[in-house]
Structure 1
Amino acid sequence: MKYFIVAGEKSGDMHAGNLCLELLKSQPDAEMIGWGGEKMEGAGVKILKNYRELAFMGFWEVIKNLPAILGFFKLAKKQIKDFNPDMVILVDYAGFNLKLAKWAKKEGFNVVYYIAPKAWAWRASRAETIKKYVDLLLVIFPFEKAFFEKCGINTRFVGNPLFDEIAKFEANKNFKEDNGLTDKPIVALLPGSRKQEIENMLGLMSSLTKEYADIQWVVAGISNFETGFYTVHGGDFKVVLDQTYDLLSVADAAVVTSGTATLETALFKVPQVVVYKTSNFSYQIAKRLVQIKYISLVNLVAEKEVVRELIQEEYSLENTKNELEKLLFDNKFRDNQLIEYNGIIETLGTSKASANAALEILKL
């Protein structure tokens, strides 16, 4: 079998890498090439384009970079045609991958979509696109299965792949010592994984670190960027690169940019406040399109407010301080959030998502 896999983001690369490892267990001679990063490459995939070149977010950012995006799309089509795979596997990254699915299906390729576009959140018309051009949709949240099946889409719930990644994780017992941390409370700052996102979020996070002398602040950075990229705003914090899980394993609380990291933080049972801010242009458009009450995965899975979400203008120094103080010093408030986390974990289940996804692909 020949597989062409496209993952356009860091989390997608991680999940695609685990999926490819599982596929190779049953098909050790399978050929795999595609777009992704280090995790996919480590799983044996030949990487033709690194996801770091694809990290456009927000409506204005996409518009500004439209010529480059169209060029990427043209390149992907050529590479898929040249490789002539038995199956095209698209992982998350909906804005790009849905267009690629439409083209690939019209060209006669089998198309699998892993980690569904959030059609239930906005642009429900995307469900119609999936129905027409995707042979199999593999979803990672229980509520997604009901939504997409109602739309007539061939859908399987495989479990959440974050469980796979966390199950493999072995904490560095010397993490605190290695990073000069003491027994004082530790607050993890997770500003995101894309350049524009980090720039939007980190300024206020840096200001926050100047407010409390008895707290150790640690930014979860990624090696895509130099440490100086994180420290440009000043502030009193340490930066650790590519050690987010180690940081969450010792953190007492966290300030987390909305995204996959909110669910990861919950699975590590770290109390958190979720924050998000984008350009006013992108926010005004999104506000008119979004059809859901919450933006964090934690609240979406729970179907109620478990963690406070500070979005756009609500993401202020005063509001963030108020929420953080409750997480650190109000035992009842803190314990209630941790109890709710247990319910979320139970809802998601602990099944091996990557293995289940590979099995469904092999059946197809």
Structure 2
Amino acid sequence: KFKPDLIFSVDCPDFSFRVIEKVKKKIKTKAYHFVAPTIWSWRENRALKIKKIIDHIFLLFPFEKYYFDKYNISNSFVGHPYFLNYKNNYNQSNLKGDIITLCPGSRKSELNEMLPILIEVIKKINKDYTFHFPATSQTFDYLNNILKKQKFKFVLSQNEEERSKYIRDSIISVAKSGTISLDICKNMCPLITIYKMTNLNYFLIKPFVKVKFVNIINIIAGKEIIPELIQYDCTADKISSLVLKYLENKNLRLNNVENYSNIISQFANKGTDIKIIKFLQKNL
């Protein structure tokens, strides 16, 4: 009975598109979607379905426009809402800090794969640092039970405010590719990206992945400005060697932050919310 003038969906494309498809079969309405599926990374053929059911798509990153223009899908770049109030103000006092942020992931499978490697990294660094691990309500006890058996100093952050503070105060960070990487960049901390999955999964997925890098900043830049140690390079020896290299050279850390800040400026502070609201109002 309810006949909406438009449908506005955010992210979760598999679910959102199924709902939109069902609604459009029953009533005539327009559908607008924010946060585009990563057709530039894999399964580009998803664009064909998007074209059938979505009237306009709002893009987080400028490079995405090429892929949706390619399929004549109405789109507009609006920037990333997480960076609405982004300020490039790296605190250089952290160049002599004693906190290192380590992010092994938030899923149990990721923790099982990455946490043992990062514990070995800490042992190889062998310095009097405090190691910060961001945690969620689901991972806090798991991380705490494992880490308290170790002999190094660590702290777990339990909410966004704590996490951001520890990241800002860190001399360097090592993080699994994903949303946490953007969080680290927003808080202006030098970053090394790592990622590893089971060799079987890597073997099965790799042929279908179209991008050279895993960190979105590097994908946008088209080159590795944030170091990546992926799969077979994601070892305790290689990670610790790179971390020590950065700890010993403050210019590497400064350049790391400066380079990724220049990329972030392409999609930060774009008035994302206002742009979307104005578009929707205009098309009611």
- TM-score range (shorter-chain normalised) is 0.7 to 0.9
The offset of 1:226, in angstroms, is 5.2
The offset of 1:214, in angstroms, is 1.5
- State how far apart, in whole Å, the 1-side matches of 2:271 and 2:103 are: 26
Q: Does 1:219 align with 2:219?
A: no
Aligned to 2:245: 326
Mapped contact 2:102–2:173 kept (Cα < 8 A):
yes
Aligned to 1:7: none
> Structure 2 counterpart of 1:312, which letter?
Q
Aligned to 2:197: 278
The offset of 1:306, in angstroms, is 0.6
The offset of 1:272, in angstroms, is 0.9
Deviations 1:219-254 (A, max 9, x none): 01122x252211343343211111322222211111
> Structure 2 counterpart of 1:213, which letter?
K
TM-score, normalised by the number of residues in structure 1: 0.67
Gap change, CA 1:238 and 1:127, over 3 Å in 2:
same
- State how far apart, in whole Å, the 1-side matches of 2:100 and 2:26 are: 50
Mapped contact 2:84–2:268 kept (Cα < 8 A):
no
> Structure 1 counterpart of 2:57, which letter?
L
Gap change, CA 1:162 and 1:288, over 3 Å in 2:
same
The offset of 1:114, in angstroms, is 0.9
Q: How many pairs are equivalent? A: 267
Gap change, CA 1:104 and 1:320, over 3 Å in 2:
farther
> Structure 2 counterpart of 1:332, which letter?
N
Aligned to 1:126: 46
Gap change, CA 1:206 and 1:85, over 3 Å in 2:
farther
Aligned to 2:168: 249
Aligned to 1:308: 227
Q: Does 1:205 align with 2:115?
A: no
Aligned to 1:262: 181
Which aligned runs of 4 or more in structure 1 are off by greater than 6 angstroms? none
- Bigger Cα displacement from structure 2, 189-198 vs 210-219: 189-198
The offset of 1:196, in angstroms, is 3.1
Q: 2:265 aligns with which of 346, 351, 357?
A: 346
Map 1:1-364 → 2, pairs under 5 A: 85-108=4-27, 109-164=29-84, 184-211=97-124, 212-223=126-137, 225=138, 227-234=140-147, 235=150, 236=152, 237-242=154-159, 243-364=162-283
Give the alignment's Cα RMSD to 1 decimal: 2.4
- State how far apart, in whole Å, the 2-side matches of 1:283 and 1:105 are: 38
Deviations 1:50-70 (A, max 9, x none): xxxxxxxxxxxxxxxxxxxxx
Aligned to 1:39: none
| Structure 1 gap segments, 5+ residues each | 1-81, 168-182
Mapped contact 1:326–1:334 kept (Cα < 8 A):
no
- State how far apart, in whole Å, the 2-side matches of 1:210 and 1:329 are: 17
The offset of 1:83, in angstroms, is 7.0
- State how far apart, in whole Å, the 1-side matches of 2:18 and 2:116 are: 35
- State how far apart, in whole Å, the 1-side matches of 2:218 and 2:233 are: 17
> Structure 2 counterpart of 1:115, which letter?
V
Mapped contact 1:254–1:273 kept (Cα < 8 A):
yes
Mapped contact 1:105–1:134 kept (Cα < 8 A):
no
- Bigger Cα displacement from structure 2, 194-203 vs 332-341: 194-203
Mapped contact 2:97–2:171 kept (Cα < 8 A):
no
Mapped contact 2:226–2:260 kept (Cα < 8 A):
no
| Structure 2 gap segments, 5+ residues each | 88-95
Identity of aligned residues (%): 28
- Secondary structure at 1:348 match in 2: coil
> Structure 2 counterpart of 1:116, which letter?
A
